[in-house]
Amino acid sequence: MERPNSIPLLTYLKRLVGLLLILALIWLLLEIIVRIYLEAPLSADFYSSISRSQVTTYQKAYGVQTVSGPGWVHLGWVAHPEEESYRVEQQINGAWTELGKTRFGSFLVSGQGGSFRVWAEPRRGAKPRLLGEVTALSLAGEPPLFIPSIASGWQTLFKPSVSGDYINDHTIYQDANGDWRLVGITSRSQGDFNAERYFAVGVSPDFPPAGGMQEGEPVADFGELAWAPHVIQAQGRYHLFWSPHALHQMESPDGVEWQNHRVTIPAPYHKFFRDPMVIQVAPGQWLLYTTARGAYFSQVDVYQSFDLQGWQYIRTALRSARGSERNAPFASTESPFVTPYQGRYYLSLTYNNDSFFWPGILLLFKIWLNPGSYNDTLVFHSANPYDFGVYRGRSNSPTLLTELEAHAPELVYHPEQDAWYITTAGWPWVASLTSGEVAVAPLGWEPAR
């Protein structure tokens, strides 16, 4: 008597499974379409900054360069991965011993250091040639670990009124006159990223000024997207970098008037290149950190330069892997910022943009499903500036140190005060800590226990 009643149930289950399969296929199709749509206009090329024809010249000029720190030595050179790979050796007990091989111009060695050789091994069967032989010793000891924290409440630092209505990603520095300057993303809107085509400027004689910064003349208006500026001082000049999808550069003798605009990296190694940040790690050596995405997972890439003109991708500073919560089609590891402090390096990034296709679609309509995530900044630590480990989620990432409630923050050191500060900013339509202004707060460093 009960058997006939099982037929409708079986039919129902089959229909339910069929419906779920159809929904899964639609979801997968939308995911593929969005990713193709986003990636189609973007190009990638390892050689975009140092052309193939320039590699040999660069290799002869710079050879193998070294940087050392507590328990590590880094070997850096200009690579030609289409034509050759690289074998690294160390002299151990009087004999040369192979440490490993790599495609790119970077090799990180743990231990005390010593004498090293880098051999270029052509892919077409030619004899290996010695690229360089160097000696470098690591530093002794283990650098202490500190935990950064926002020490008190936010105060307004700068909001434009003439050149724009808000500030998002930004950079802060002192110009040649001693004035403090803020250069940041803006537009005449409440946060239209397609309208962000130049940078607003704030100026003040001290930092942070009690009444906020005064607005200066905007910079870098070249009729195309201008995101995430960053300024450094090196070689007697100021250097301004910005993105997206390519690296733009300008120079200035004083940090006020900018000139010589050029696109240094027209096609980066990985797509969704944006939010560049540069630090100097040794005389004549600079690292460029950028937002990036691999085949699926978000990451932070590192590029290397020996002259601030020729840049090459060398490695990934932070990888995401299974267990990471956010891996948007256009990458979730935004606004990377690396700070050296007391012998250790700290990488902060704003962890935005949920996975799958819908965050990008909702962004076009100014919809952010989880407003709190807009201010989700993660801080990682490392003894060296090249490798901050793998992010597998909040509870399974040994190098994840803390979380800060801020969006696209800058960590600013004031040398006269011997004090640190942190900033936050963002689009007015989604930011909850600010309303279009950049805000600033003291930053504390507490020893980890």
Residue 59 maps to which CATH number?
2.60.40.10
pLDDT of residue 68: 97
Same domain, 123 and 264: no
Same domain, 128 and 220: no
Strands (E), 294-332: 298-305, 312-320
Same domain, 340 and 269: yes
pLDDT of residue 1: 44
Q: How far apart are CA 131 and CA 315, in angstroms?
A: 19
Distances (CA, A) of 240 to 80, 164, 191, 247, 308: 27, 20, 23, 10, 11
Tokens found for residue 125: 């069967």
Residue 342 maps to which CATH number?
2.115.10.20
Same domain, 410 and 385: yes
Among 85, 112, 137, the domain-final residue is 137
Evaluate the CA torsion angle 328, 172, 404, 288 in order and state its sign: positive
Is 369 or 117 the better-scoring residue by pLDDT? 117
Q: How far apart are CA 351 and CA 443, in angstroms?
A: 20
Number of domains observed in the structure of the chain: 2
Same domain, 258 and 298: yes
Q: Is 360 helix (H, G, I), strand (E, B) or coil?
A: helix
Tokens found for residue 269: 């190694």
* Residue 300 pLDDT exceeds 60: yes
From 10-14, 233-237, 383-387, 443-447, the region with the lowest mean pLDDT: 10-14
Same domain, 82 and 100: yes
* Residue 3 pLDDT exceeds 80: no
Closest CA to 346 of 425, 276, 404: 404
* Residue 2 pLDDT exceeds 60: no
- pLDDT, tens digit, for every residue of 381-406? 999 999 999 999 999 999 999 999 99
Q: How far apart are CA 265 and CA 365, in angstroms?
A: 31
Q: How far apart are CA 287 and CA 438, in angstroms?
A: 26
Among 116, 137, 158, the domain-final residue is 137
- pLDDT, tens digit, for every residue of 124-157? 888 999 999 999 999 999 999 999 999 999 999 9
Model pTM score:
0.95
What whole-number percentage of the chain has pLDDT above 70? 98
Same domain, 62 and 98: yes
- pLDDT, tens digit, for every residue of 213-236? 999 999 999 999 999 999 999 999
What confidence tier does 5 reach under pLDDT thresholds 50, 70, 90? low
CB atoms within 10 A of CB 155: 14
pLDDT of residue 359: 85
Mean pLDDT in residue range 354-360:
88
Q: Where do we find the tokens 């975009």?
A: 48
Same domain, 184 and 280: yes
Q: Determine, yes or no, domain membership for 347.
A: yes
DSSP state of 213: P
* Residue 7 pLDDT exceeds 70: no
Same domain, 153 and 239: yes
Q: Determine, yes or no, domain membership for 27.
A: no
Residue 161, domain extent: 146-447
